[in-house]
Amino acid sequence: MTCLLLAGIGPGFLHAKPKTEKFHGTVVAAGPKAITVKSRDNIYQVRTFSYSAQLEQKMQISKPQAGKIVTVRYVRGTDLATKVD
């Protein structure tokens, strides 16, 4: 008989905030649903991020222009942007 003990895991574990990472670069294009950014460190790396629901509303008001240097905060393991600075 196998017994599995999960010590220290409470209700807060299931509702944990997802980890975020940063991507620094220059805006190539910014549309109503996504932003494309070229890496500041690697000229061959270009990433396209879709906006979260809250960010999408904010980006409709003011989108960054092409060529602007930005930092995109996104959910680790996805291309979902949560904040664009």
Contacts with 49 (C-beta within 8 Å, 6 or more apart), sequence order: 23, 34, 35, 36, 37, 72, 74, 79, 80, 81
Architecture in CATH for domain 18-84: Beta Barrel (2.40)
pLDDT digits (tens, 9 = 90+) for 63-76: 999 999 999 999 99
pLDDT digits (tens, 9 = 90+) for 32-46: 999 999 999 999 999
- pLDDT above 70: percentage of residues in the chain: 84
